[in-house]
A and B are shown apart, each in its own frame.
Chain A
Amino acid sequence: MLRHVTNRILAQGLRCPAPPAGAAGAARMYHERVVDHYDNPRNVGSFDKNDPTVGTGLVGAPACGDVMKLQIKVDDESGKIVDACFKTFGCGSAIASSSVATEWVKGKHMEEVLTIKNTEIAKHLSLPPVKLHCSMLAEDAIKAAVKDYASRRAKSDGTPETAPIKKAADA
């Protein structure tokens, strides 16, 4: 069922993957890593939004009609991200960017993931300039997820330690 949903979601992405070799003019090729994330989707799914250990980041790019949801599951004691999943409706680059983001945040501390830059994601996927905003969206999604977790945690038990994380996430 998940695979079915996954494939449906990702099928919306690459509407026109690498055109046939005989195409005239400049061919816009997706980098093999982007195609890999499309063919072998990883971390697609949803966590329970109301779970106190889950932070949800929901961002969008209205000009292209993209919407990206990135969720992290945090271990309360250590502050480490133990699991992450995403759901993105948009182009192949947006899907791949959020997929890479979920891979990179796993096992890292919350403050550490806030330092993940969109340029690193873009470089990893060899995104062309026109698709750089997709990686920015992924960076925003990470920050939004961390911020959401921190604010919900603060609301529930009012611990001061989440405040610096919130400040960093707001930056």
Chain B
Amino acid sequence: MLLKKRIYSFAIQSRAIKPHIYSSSIINQFSSSFSSSSSSSSSCFRFSKSKFFGTPTNVLFTRNIEDLFVKNKHLFCSQPKSVENFKCWNCGVEADNATPFLFCQACRTVQPVNHSIDYFRIFGLERKYNIEGGELEGKYKDWQKKLHPDLVHSKSQREREYAAEQSARVIDAYRTLADPLSRAIYIVNLEGVVVDEEERITDPELLAEIMELREAVDEAEGAQSLNQIQAQLQEKLKYWSKSFEDAFLSKNYEDALASIRRMTYYRRANEEIVKKL
């Protein structure tokens, strides 16, 4: 009988959500199970309930059914972005897709972290490598004014936890996008291309160049020669950064990864110079 009540209340709730293939299939499956075990004892209901929760095709059912009411957005997490609609956990107002939904505009409550909002969306930027640096910092500060844990003392415990997670994510996003190399790695990751952490190469030209570079840094005496090497490095980084952008735009991920490799090497060399200076 308890299961029956839950099905009905869920059906009411799902009508409030925009029509969605998941929600309709849930109702259908629930109603079919309900009808198939109509006049059986309560133990049969329990059996059908557990059967659903164990079905591999419906990942949603591995969650507690209460979660379906509260965290509605999880029903949509595997859908393409255009279908996503976020609802505030506090006031139930749906978010407009204009601003990234970290924070409800209506009731001003902090929302839990949703990983489908990628770093570019947090800052309202297009997903491209060549972003304008100036706006990044401004938007970052704006977000922190709303999300930073130190500024949410008056809010509930739950909200403060959300604020801590969101704030950390925004910091991560800012740092990743501000640095060209990490931005490059992030943007290829979004396209599904992963940089192999344990890759080993034997390219003699590249390695000989890097070896010479590191030896030069190592043997350089005095700030002047170090600054000279650093200036050359910045040039090279700029060149390969451009090369990455071109490769990425033409979806040439092999070349994009090659550019990332080079930039990583130059970045390491630069770090050594900075240490010596």
Contact = CB atoms under 8 A, between A and B. Distances in A.
Given A58-B204, A58-B207, A63 B214 contact: no
Contacts of A132: 198
A122 interface: no
Contacts of B214: 67, 89
Contacts of A60: 200-203, 206-207, 210, 265
B272 A59 contact: no
A9 interface: yes
Interface residues of A, number: 22
Interface of B: 195-204, 206-208, 210-211, 214-215, 218-219, 260-261, 264-265, 267-269, 272, 275
Nearest to B203: A60
In the A-B complex, the 8 residue pairs with the closest CB atoms: A65-B268, A62-B261, A133-B198, A89-B214, A58-B207, A63-B197, A60-B207, A67-B210
Contact of B202 (A9, A58, A87): A58
Contacts of B275: 12
- Chain A contact residues: helix, strand, loop or mixed: mixed
B207 A59 contact: yes
A62 B219 contact: no
A164 B199 CA distance: 27
Contacts of A69: 211
Contacts of B195: 63
Nearest to A46: B215
Contact of A61 (B200, B203, B260): B200
A61 B218 CA distance: 19
A62 B265 contact: yes
Contacts of A127: none
Interface stretch (A104-112, A136-144, A155-163): A136-144
